[in-house]
Structure 1
């Protein structure tokens, strides 16, 4: 028996979902506001949350990450009276299990819930075994988003398909690539790193494919290419978006056949390697702009892992700080350092645009500032970070304080769109019933709606046909 939470301000919809869940034999609780729903999700052990988008106290999508960070880490199914493609994309990108409209039949909604519960049960059962045994290679953190990424690492390591790792600079793409290699059947083979951004365009083919003696000026002896060095292991193309177009076609053939010809050679060589690539660039946009081959991107992205920026997993900052400070102290022969509470608070308030890499560099500078002092305080942090935090604290108005000047406020664009859409939809339904003299079948024919969908819309807007 599972536990389900319904967050919806529509009494009739909440009642329908309540009875649906009860008929399935599960426990159920509900909340008519986002605030109450988040409180219940934070204190209860729910498996699935059914979350409405348009709520009296905000947009449900805004609290989706907060719900996912609660201790139970429930699956979230977004339910909405009027969906739109942008909201659907945002929901799925944010980790929602599904995005469905309220006009969907209860039978279909039941199936969505059954599948979400089945997925959750299997994920929990497999996560313990796969992630616990995983060699993490300095991947620090146990937030929801990092554990999801580690689940994907375990899945990727079990196969041999090409993997693409995306994420902002400093999120640890090479660490995750090494973790995939170290947990795969190729762990005993080489892990060959190719920094595509640092490859000289005139030598890139020679470095990748190798060359024979005398092929070009300066080729005094034959040289084995990086692709051949990765035979039996993994080839990691870092910043693959920087790979020159002139090389992309040749590399595509290597991926398809695992065969290549060194420069100046008459014979082809074979290399059995596993390809892992990484980039912080939008390769889809590069394809549209003609800067990257779509057929190569298709091959590279057979399995995808997107790493979260540090600002989206602040709960990992304390663990990251402890791990890296201990490591740095050991490297420099320093005694272990303690943290003042204010030091960790300051770290948590920074946005870390450079992600984990910036955090590590900052901690190294703090240690240099502290020297032999046993405790790290905010005063040991770089001046620019302390100034940024101080300015942000002053710019935030104190609770209850009167504003110094009156400013015109505007709602969020998405909220404005939804409000206008709801008003137009309500007026359309009123005009529709008036035109058809409350003949619901005729209204369905004109509007192109099913009867259940029409009933759902009328209920949402509080319209009762005569």
Structure 2
């Protein structure tokens, strides 16, 4: 049995019209409840839940305009669609001003009416989702900056909880803007080293010599401008966490020294004579494919495995479903508070645009979008017109428009699934699979076995 399109409360004083609406809406997937007077209808709204109210304007006793005003005051969550004759358009406009969602003229085209009611039901559902996500912000703030409740992000939460107390190195991967430093700070905040310092450095932000000095420190006179000794970040992070952001950009010549520091747990300052022990957890992050960098000789394989003891992959925003709205509401509150503006949230139409967009820049792009919108808006809710043009005009293409973004996966996961399909097709033989895929067996072990904890190979049993 298919899902219904919504529960509709129909208020119409003419018996024939009531019968027409009840029968026509039921045939089109709605569940109509009909009443002949507004006085009979309103008590139902206090005891039952309807997705939309459809009411005639001209009725004896309490008319549709009064009913609309009363619903807007007491049940503003329920959209009202009004029925009006051609000669009463001014009254219909008055109903819209009183809070009605839309109006339909008589004689009624039931198919056109059904489309209006579907939009009204969707409008209410989206507004309820925005309200629910806004309420969830309080719980989200307890996660050290994390905002979200999607399955993809919950898997990240769970892994962070499991490894937070460990001193094992963690490599955080993900697209640019997915919140890798937020994840690193969450690991630090939830671990036993939370009272110690969190020291971060961007490995792509400075030249090799300066990066070496920042990480390991230097002795006085080690180079021209070294007029005093300097303590490196490895030592400054003692008792806490050292976060190596964009570690994939580290110069190849500096990688052996980093590897030695991680292996020996000591560092030698530039120009120094002795090794200094350090006690810091190492968390690294990159948006690069380090395995590819290893194959191309741009990153040391031994350093990669030293950093990637535990891998933490962050999902892109397009794979996090309604987290987009939760994050947007957090940013609205932040930027409205900072700018001293009364902006309370998103209009349903604006929320729908945010959900439809694919966010190539991830959370960072969303943050920029909301900051701009809050600065530009003249209303208490962000509207579609406040959003950047690329988001207002975005139209999803091909199959992605109909797919649930929470089902989309990374290229790595898509590759893993395809390898698995080929293996199943050849009965588990990696030799045959490697010929079909055009890679060697070692590559299949690396790409598939590391996630599956080692997959039985039919060739090994032969």
TM-score (norm 1): 0.55
Unaligned runs of 5+ in 2: 1-138, 403-417, 427-457
Q: How does 1:22-61 map to 2 (within 5 A)?
A: none
Conserved? CA contact 2:204–2:250, under 8 Å: yes
Conserved? CA contact 2:140–2:148, under 8 Å: no
Q: 1:203 to 1:396 in 2, by over 3 A?
A: closer
1:167 aligns with 2:174: yes
Q: How does 1:309-320 map to 2 (within 5 A)?
A: 309-320=316-327
1:353 aligns with 2:348: no
Q: How does 1:292-331 map to 2 (within 5 A)?
A: 292-331=299-338
Q: 2:223 aligns with which of 206, 216, 221?
A: 216
Name which one, 1 or 2, has greater alpha-carbon Rg. Answer: 2
Deviation at 1:207, TM superposition (A): 1.2
Q: 1:252 to 1:396 in 2, by over 3 A?
A: closer
Deviation at 1:318, TM superposition (A): 1.4
Q: How does 1:250-265 map to 2 (within 5 A)?
A: 250-265=257-272
Give the match's secondary structure for 1:331. Answer: helix
Give the match's secondary structure for 1:165. Answer: strand
Give, in whole Å, the separation in 1 of the partners of 2:198 and 2:294.
Answer: 28
Q: In the alignment, which residue of structure 2 is the partner of 1:195? A: 202
1:158 aligns with 2:198: no
Q: 1:149 aligns with which of 118, 139, 156?
A: 156
Q: In the alignment, which residue of structure 1 is the partner of 2:145? A: 138
Q: In the alignment, which residue of structure 1 is the partner of 2:243? A: 236
Give, in whole Å, the separation in 2 of the partners of 1:170 and 1:222.
Answer: 36
1:226 aligns with 2:233: yes
Q: How does 1:36-115 map to 2 (within 5 A)?
A: none
Deviation at 1:134, TM superposition (A): 9.8
1:385 aligns with 2:391: yes
Conserved? CA contact 1:248–1:293, under 8 Å: yes
Deviation at 1:289, TM superposition (A): 0.3
Q: In the alignment, which residue of structure 2 is the partner of 1:405? A: none
Q: How does 1:317-466 map to 2 (within 5 A)?
A: 317-370=324-377, 372-389=378-395
Conserved? CA contact 1:366–1:380, under 8 Å: yes
Q: In the alignment, which residue of structure 1 is the partner of 2:296? A: 289
Give, in whole Å, the separation in 2 of the partners of 1:357 and 1:313.
Answer: 14
Deviation at 1:133, TM superposition (A): 11
Give the match's secondary structure for 2:283. Answer: strand
Deviation at 1:327, TM superposition (A): 1.2
Give the match's secondary structure for 2:209. Answer: coil
Give, in whole Å, the separation in 2 of the partners of 1:190 and 1:396.
Answer: 45
Deviation at 1:388, TM superposition (A): 2.3
Give, in whole Å, the separation in 2 of the partners of 1:267 and 1:134.
Answer: 44
Conserved? CA contact 1:135–1:183, under 8 Å: no
Deviation at 1:202, TM superposition (A): 2.5
Conserved? CA contact 2:208–2:254, under 8 Å: no
Give the match's secondary structure for 2:192. Answer: coil
Unaligned runs of 5+ in 1: 1-131, 398-413, 423-448, 450-466
Q: CA RMSD in A?
A: 2.6
Give the match's secondary structure for 1:237. Answer: strand
Conserved? CA contact 2:203–2:244, under 8 Å: yes
1:278 aligns with 2:278: no
Give, in whole Å, the separation in 2 of the partners of 1:259 and 1:186.
Answer: 19
Deviation at 1:337, TM superposition (A): 2.2
TM-score (norm 2): 0.55
**Which digits, 9 at most, give the CA deviation of each residue in 1:386-406, with x for residues without a partner?**
1223x869x989xxxxxxxxx
Give the match's secondary structure for 1:192. Answer: strand
Conserved? CA contact 1:195–1:237, under 8 Å: yes
Q: In the alignment, which residue of structure 2 is the partner of 1:31? A: none
Give, in whole Å, the separation in 1 of the partners of 2:394 and 2:141.
Answer: 38
Give, in whole Å, the separation in 2 of the partners of 1:379 and 1:140.
Answer: 25
Conserved? CA contact 2:332–2:345, under 8 Å: no
Q: In the alignment, which residue of structure 2 is the partner of 1:246? A: 253
Deviation at 1:137, TM superposition (A): 1.8
Give, in whole Å, the separation in 2 of the partners of 1:263 and 1:338.
Answer: 52
Conserved? CA contact 1:170–1:356, under 8 Å: yes
Off by >4 Å, runs of 4+ in structure 1: 132-135
